[in-house]
């Protein structure tokens, strides 16, 4: 185990840690290797007071693997600086609100994301927390009967499905790039995922999951609602109240996350670097 030169303070939850005494923009290989092991162990790492530039955020994220897409603003501010109205016809607002449901990133794509580096640039006066939920602890807390029931079940994952379920039509006014809305058949993913690096089992569920083969529509929805409601409860959840300069790293293979509401006339600007999943372990065939 490489020498630890930073401090690790576990969060008050089944997962996660706050890391201090570290500069993410300037990590040597030994520090990175140590940090990687802590990340696999805790899944969510919170780094206060980093103030990463866009370039430094991308460079740090790339140490975990190729990125799924270039740095994306998660923001209600337009390029000209104006704040988007809280308007359910605005494509960006619809995605921001949709992401208030618990989810894993990119399960609706052929390759699920490995993780993400997320940074806070402009934060609202209240609200706007991001929550994470520990799907490893959730799986382990299920009854043996439920573990057996879901052992061989899978679900389809689709952004069309999850946005429509919240009453949002896709691509209405053209202000959102449309990433994630694709016309291939939706991937079919097992409900129980084995982590490719730790070997631990976790639930793979969330708002994009639906249509379990072998169950009718109602049975499928009831089971997924039950699993989601059970999984996202203390001590398996943590909500972070952002300060400007915070950076966060999460493992998308075993955590879900959600945005939370804020007064949307106030600007909120975050940057998201999404680390691509390994095709050998995160690919799911369309079905
Ligand atoms: Fe997300």
Tell whether the model's pLDDT for residue 2 goes beyond 80.
no
Kindly give the distance from the C-alpha atom of residue 238 to the centroid of ligand 1, in angstroms, as a whole number: 15
Is pLDDT above 80 for 174? no
pLDDT in tens, 206-242: 999 999 999 999 999 999 999 999 999 999 999 999 9
CA of 205 to the centre of ligand 1 (A): 13
On whether the CB atoms of residues 196 and 253 are closer than 8 A, the answer is yes
- Percentage, residues of the chain above pLDDT 90: 88
Q: Is residue 27 part of a domain?
A: yes
pTM, to two decimals: 0.95
176 phi/psi in degrees, rounded to 5 = -100, 145
Residue 258 CA to ligand 1 center (angstroms) comes to 7
Place of tokens 């493992």: 251
Q: How far is the CA of 273 from the centre of ligand 1 (A)?
A: 11
- What is the predicted pLDDT for the residue at 141? 98
Q: Is the pLDDT of residue 246 over 90?
A: yes
Between 28 and 1, name the one with better pLDDT: 28
Distance 220 CA to ligand 1 centre (A): 23
- Total structural domains within the chain: 1
Indicate whether 284 belongs to any domain. Answer: no
pLDDT of 1 > 60? The answer is no
Taking the CB of residue 100, how many other CB atoms lie within 10 A of it? 14
For residue 104, how far is its CA from the centre of ligand 1 (angstroms)? 6
184, part of any domain = yes
In the numeric block, which tokens belong to residue 65?
């693997």
Going by pLDDT thresholds of 50, 70 and 90, the confidence category of residue 184 is: confident
State yes or no: pLDDT of 106 exceeds 90.
yes
Query: How far is the centre of ligand 1, averaged over its atoms, from the C-alpha of 146 (Å)?
Result: 27
Question: What is the torsional sign of CA 54, 60, 63, 67?
Answer: negative
Which residue range is the domain that position 16 belongs to? 7-277
Q: Is residue 154 included in any domain, yes or no?
A: yes
What's the 131 CA to ligand 1 centre distance in angstroms? Answer: 10
Give domain status of residue 45, yes or no.
yes
C-alpha 4 to ligand 1 mean position (Å)? 30
At 7, the pLDDT band (50, 70, 90 cuts) reads very high
Q: What is the dihedral of CA 246, 247, 252, 253, to 10 degrees?
A: -120
Q: What dihedral do alpha carbons 96, 74, 264, 162 form, nearest 10°? A: 0
Mean pLDDT of the chain: 95
How remote is the CA of residue 98 from the centroid of ligand 1, in Å? 9
CA of 206 to the centre of ligand 1 (A): 11
* CA 264 / ligand 1 centre spacing (Å): 18
What's the CA-to-centroid distance between 181 and ligand 1, angstroms?
Answer: 14
- 106 Cα to the center of ligand 1, angstroms: 8
Ligand 1 center from residue 80 Cα (angstroms): 25
- Average confidence (pLDDT) over 264-270: 96
CATH classification of the domain holding 44: 3.60.130.10
Amino acid 171: pLDDT: 75
CA angle 19, 15, 221 (to 5 degrees): 135
pLDDT tens digits along 40-84: 999 999 999 999 999 999 999 999 999 998 799 999 999 999 999
Read off the pLDDT band of 155 (50, 70, 90): very high
Q: What is the mean pLDDT of residues 9-25?
A: 98
Ligand 1 centre to CA of 102 (Å) is: 8
Tokens matching residue 159: 């952004």
- Cα separation, 1 vs 41, whole angstroms: 13
> Is 178's pLDDT higher than 80?
no
* Across 117-141, average pLDDT: 98
Cα 23 to ligand 1 centroid, rounded to whole Å: 25
pLDDT band at 172 (very low <50, low <70, confident <90, very high): confident
Phi, psi of 242 (to 5 degrees): -80, 140
Q: Is residue 2 part of a domain?
A: no
User: Helices (H) and strands (E) in the chain — how many of each?
Assistant: 8, 15
The answer to whether 166 touches 97, Cβ cutoff 8 Å, is: yes
Radius of gyration of the chain (CA): 18
Whether residue 97 is contained in a domain is answered as yes
Report if residue 54 sits inside a domain. yes
- How many CB atoms neighbour CB 80 within 10 A? 5
Distance from Cα 3 to the centre of ligand 1, integer Å: 33
């Amino acid at each position: 185990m490489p020498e630890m030169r930073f401090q690790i303070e576990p969060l008050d939850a089944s997962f996660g840690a706050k890391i201090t005494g570290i500069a993410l923009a300037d990590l040597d290989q030994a520090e990175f290797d140590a940090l990687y092991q802590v990340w696999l162990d805790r899944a969510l790492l919170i780094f206060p007071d980093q103030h990463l530039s866009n370039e430094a955020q991308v460079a740090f994220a790339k140490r975990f693997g190729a990125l799924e897409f270039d740095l994306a603003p998660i923001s209600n501010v337009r390029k000209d600086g104006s704040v988007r109205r809280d308007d359910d016809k605005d494509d960006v607002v619809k995605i921001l609100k949709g992401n208030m449901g618990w989810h894993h990133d990119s399960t609706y794509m052929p390759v699920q994301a490995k993780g993400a580096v997320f940074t806070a640039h402009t934060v609202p006066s209240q609200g706007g927390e991001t929550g994470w939920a520990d799907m490893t602890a959730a799986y382990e807390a299920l009854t043996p009967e439920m573990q057996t029931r879901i052992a061989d079940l899978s679900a389809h994952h689709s952004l069309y499905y999850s946005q429509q379920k919240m009453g949002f039509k896709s691509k209405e006014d053209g202000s959102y790039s449309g990433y994630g809305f694709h016309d291939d058949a939706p991937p079919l993913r097992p409900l129980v995922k084995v982590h490719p690096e730790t070997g631990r089992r976790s639930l793979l569920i969330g708002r994009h999951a639906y249509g379990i083969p072998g169950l009718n529509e109602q049975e499928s929805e009831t089971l997924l609602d039950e699993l989601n409601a059970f999984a996202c409860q203390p001590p398996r959840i943590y909500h972070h109240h952002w300060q400007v300069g915070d950076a966060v790293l999460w493992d998308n293979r075993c955590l879900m996350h959600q945005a939370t509401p804020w007064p949307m006339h106030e600007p909120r600007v975050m940057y998201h670097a999404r680390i691509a999943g390994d095709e050998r372990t995160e690919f799911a065939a369309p079905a």
